[in-house]
Amino acid sequence: MRKISLMKNSIQEYEWGSKTAIPELLGQAGPAKNPQAELWMGAHPKAPSQVYLDGLWRSLLEVIAENPEEVLGRETAHKFSNELPFLFKVLAAAKPLSIQAHPNQGQAREGFLRENELGIPIGAVNRNYRDVNHKPEIICALTPFWALNGFRQVEEILRLLGEIQVQPLVETLSFLQEHSHRQGLKGFFYQLMTTEKAKQAKIVEEVVAFAEKRTEKEPVWTWIAKLNQAYPGDVGVLSPAFLNLVQLKPQQAMFLPAGELHGYLEGTGIELMANSDNVLRGGLTAKHIDVQELLSILNFTEIELTILQPQRVASGEAVYPTGTAEFVLSIVEVSGGAPFIGARKRSVEIMICTKGEATITDLGEGETTGLSRGTSVIVPAAVEQYRIEGEATLYKAAVPL
């Protein structure tokens, strides 16, 4: 594969998805019949993209397997065992996703081998580890995007929940008050997650009643009330009070390293992650929850959330810094008098146009491909250099060299 190629991508239909966001991006008439949650761009075995080559649509997974160095570049092919190391997505959340975290590389490998030895099928609902990879990820807002990310400062948790005098919660908060912050957070979360269901239900009921009277005061209370409408009685309803609640503005992003408890609540964004499917859930879901395993991978450290702004690195391109080996996300903006020229030395790149119209030209072959809203293309490493010109905004996924 030595040419810039158009892509045709799989859409994942999950119940929390939007019926309008992805269809509108792709220029489709009317809302979708079913909620459309994620548009996958990449070579994940579950749903690889199709690429247009020599008049035919072909699986990107197969194309990479035929000549990995042409597509990925020699360095990337060698480093990542001839596989595309990232998965690029458009994520459209009309309802909240589960509260979750992802393992680091060592935890993923150990957990995968352990579950294999136990004979748990890869597709089993009680399977925690479906591959040996870690799953760092970045989410960048296309619309105002609400999310949770990492534990709040202990003082904030105590301020928010300390007024609610329901006995099981008072007991749980006392552990947080009496121990060091890391130990206190772990004990607080463990007690909350393992309290018997009747007591959990009582805590949720009292906190929701408290929140519903204060929805005008802080977004925390609004979201607790909204989460209870979506997942009545679920202990995850309390998460805005102990996790950092943030609303990303368009083009703002946040990074999610291994072990950070997080959740996406509402909005449309660009998501880029290592090519893994390892998820450990802690609430707001009907799917499998393994509290003990989740506790073993979580980072029980208070964090002050860092909002990532794109940093200009070249004319027309700005990068979201994460330091991740598998991927780098950037935004490319071109206008009439300012085209973008791709670097000569680079890895494979996948781009999606989210606004406007442009053309991308292979400067070696002279071939030009049109780009409009919703169009995605792959630029293999074998392409010598390219130019994008027009009036458009694109998001680009690449492997850092």
Round to whole Å and give the CA distance between 107 and 80. Answer: 19
For 223-280, the pLDDT digits (tens) are 999 999 999 999 999 999 999 999 999 999 999 999 999 999 999 999 999 988 899 9
SS3 label, residue 24: helix
pLDDT for 277 = 84
Say what angle helices 219-230 and 197-212 make with each other, to 10 degrees: 130
Helices (H), 118-262: 154-161, 167-178, 181-194, 197-212, 219-230, 239-242
Between strands 137-141 and 253-256, the pairing is antiparallel
Round to whole Å and give the CA distance between 161 and 216. Answer: 17
For 320-337, the pLDDT digits (tens) are 999 999 999 999 999 988
Its pTM stands at: 0.94
Round to whole Å and give the CA distance between 143 and 267. Answer: 6
Catalytic residues: 281
Domains, the chain, in order of start with CATH, read 311-398 (2.60.120.10)
Q: Do the beta carbons of residue 293 and residue 280 sit within 8 Å?
A: yes
How does the average pLDDT of the chain come out, rounded? 95
Q: How many residues does the chain have?
A: 401
pLDDT for 318 = 98
Percent of the chain topping pLDDT 70 = 100
Q: What are phi and psi of 280, to 5 degrees?
A: -115, 120
